[in-house]
Each structure stands twice: as C-alpha cells, then as structure tokens.
Amino acid sequence: MEGECHFLEGNIRAKKRVNYTKGLLAEVKIEPERLKMFNMGASDAKEFAHAADEMTKIAKEFGPSPLKKIKNRKRPAIRRIQ
Amino acid sequence: MIIAERKTFDEIKQIVGDAHKILIVGCGTCVAVCMAGGEKEVGILASLLRLDAKREGRELEIIETTVERQCDKEYLEPLAKKVSDADVVVSLACGAGVQFLAEMYDTKRVLPGLNTRFIGVAEHEGMWTQRCMACSDCILGETGGICPVTICPKGLLNGPCGGTNEGKCEVDNEKDCAWTLIYRRLEKTGGLNNIKKLFPPKRYDVQTKPGKVIHPAYEKGEGKAHE
C-alpha cells in the first residue's frame, strides 16, 4: 500500500514519477490515462487481476495507441526459422 | 549554479519546425544538476519528439549527445561532425551555452530548449531558489551572508520597508522578509552593529552589459598583472 513500500518511501517517489510521466505523455497528445500506478503487495493476486482488468477496459475505451493509428508502412515479414 | 527549466514541448516543437534531423545537445554541469538539460533530460526530450513524430506519421531522426559544459570551447569543438549532419541543433544549456554553441557553429540554426531562470541553490531534492543577482558589487560580508538585493523583492539596501509583517514579506506573505533574516543572522553571529551601517546607493555602473572578466594572470601584455 502507499507509503508501506519494502523500500520505505519508494512507492511515494514512484507515484510522483508516474505523475510526471503522465504529464510528458499529455504533452505529446497521448492520453495520460493510459498509464496508471497501482499499489499492491507481492501476493495480492486478486488486486493484480483487478488492475489488469481495469487497464484492459481503459485501453479498449481509448482504442489502439495513437502511435499505431497512422500506419502506411507494411509490417516486416516474420521469417520462420527452418 | 545556474537554474533553468525546459520550455514547453509545444514551444520546442514550434521552433524546431519541419526539421528532419535534430541534434539535441545536453550540458553536464548546472542544468544537469537542476534536472533540466543533462543527459537524462536530453533522452526525455528526444523520446517526446520521437513519439510526437510517430503519432503524426512524420519521419524524424534525432541524435542525442551531452557535453561536460557548453560554456567552454574545448567541449564544443568535438561536436563539429554531429552539428554538420543535423538540420537544427537544440541546446539544453543555459542561455550562455546556447549562445556559445551558436557562435561556434554560426552557419547552423541553434535553438534553446530551456528557459534560464537564475543563479541559485538546491533547497532540497527537486527545489531550487534564487540567491544571487550577479550584481558585481557584493555586500554579503555586511549582511550576514544574506543578499537583500536578491531576497528582498524591492532590493532594499538599508533595512526593511514598511510592509514587513512578523518576518514575512508584503509582496508575498509566504516569503521571509530579507531584512528580518539579516537581523536574525547578525544577531546570531554577533554582528548587529552592521545593521546600523548605511549603504550608499547601489552601484549600477558596475553592472554594465555584457560583463567581462579577465583574470590578471591572463591579461595580454608583459607584466600587466603587476601594474
């Protein structure tokens, strides 16, 4: 939980950095909501699953990444290793 | 040290224009310490420009480099090839560094990526405050090491104005009154007699721009230093 990091105030620092990074994303017109920080313990499997569901929902609401929208380039062919 | 802040991304994007190859030059001294123009910030700006170009479907090549100092020619000389290959150069140095880089490579567009703010100190992690106006006429020896020219918004030299209020400034009540700070410091250091000293009007004649300093040992002409 926030403030109860194994590295003492590590997750509070991380929160500030994540918020800063959200600001950077907003500057280049990428929805900052695509990035979110969750606090949970190493064994909180349920919380992790909920967080993953929430982020999936958010990603679906926003649609594909704006970096992928403009795509005239062909994908490089995948080479199969014989 | 010199404190600076990055310009907004929109402003940088606007001044860079439609350049296809951008060289971003960081400065590893003051602006690296205040987290505005060091190697890490060069990387962040480069990433932002790349993401933005990708979002808009533009081709963009960015070269990142950081030198020890942009205010010394010896560190700028090795950049010649990189500068020559780029359409524009964005300097993440203070105003002095940007100008020196532009002067050295005067056929290339050199653009500022930062706004230079002031000479200051690190109060704590991530916070810097102004401490010096570079006024060329230092009186810190008389004022307990606290600069009224900088800390007092009115730059008063002879005690506080009528707006001092329980140690706070009338211009901004979050800020301390410089002359209250000076009084307390002089009281602590046994120099309260200094408070009675009257300072003559500030010598603005020594602040003529642009400033120039020549160390006596480096003056041209034999024996000049001893004259």
**pLDDT of B166-220, one tens digit each?**
999 999 999 999 999 999 999 999 999 988 899 999 998 888 889 999 999 998 8
Residues from B contacting A (CB-CB < 8 Å) are 8-10, 44, 48, 51-52, 54-57
| Structural domain containing residue A59 | 10-66
**Min Cα–Cα distance to chain A from B55, Å:** 4
Q: Is the residue at A3 inside a domain?
A: no
On whether the CB atoms of residues B176 and B168 are closer than 8 A, the answer is yes
Which pTM does this prediction carry?
A: 0.87
* Residuewise pLDDT in 10s, chain A (82 residues): 777 777 788 899 999 999 999 999 999 999 999 999 999 988 999 999 999 999 999 999 999 888 886 555 555 555 555 4
Q: Is the residue at A22 inside a domain?
A: yes
Q: Is the residue at A73 inside a domain?
A: no
Q: Is the residue at A4 inside a domain?
A: no
Picking from B11, B49, B54 by the largest number of A CB atoms within 10 A of its own CB, the best residue to mutate is: B54
Distance, CA of B105 to CA of B79 (rounded, Å): 9
Contacts of residue B9, defined as CB under 8 A and 6 or more positions apart, other chains included, come to A27, A28, B48, B52
Which CATH number, 1.10.10.10, 3.40.50.300, 3.40.50.2300, 3.40.5.10, labels domain B2-118?
3.40.50.2300
Q: Is the residue at A49 inside a domain?
A: yes
Contacts of residue A7, defined as CB under 8 A and 6 or more positions apart, other chains included, come to none
Q: Is the residue at A77 inside a domain?
A: no
Inform me whether the C-beta atom of residue A20 falls under 8 Å from chain B C-beta atoms: no
- CB within 8 Å: A30 and B9: no
Q: Which of B211, B186, B205 is nearest to B196 (CA)?
A: B186
Please report, for chain B, the start and end positions of each structural domain, with discontinuous segments joined by +: 2-118, 134-202
Which residue among A28, A69, A72 places its CB closest to the CB of B51? A28
Chain B residues in contact with A30 (beta carbon < 8 A): 51, 55
Contacts of residue B214, defined as CB under 8 A and 6 or more positions apart, other chains included, come to none
Helical segments of chain B, H only: 9-16, 30-33, 39-55, 73-76, 80-85, 95-104, 148-151, 178-189
Q: Is the residue at A79 inside a domain?
A: no
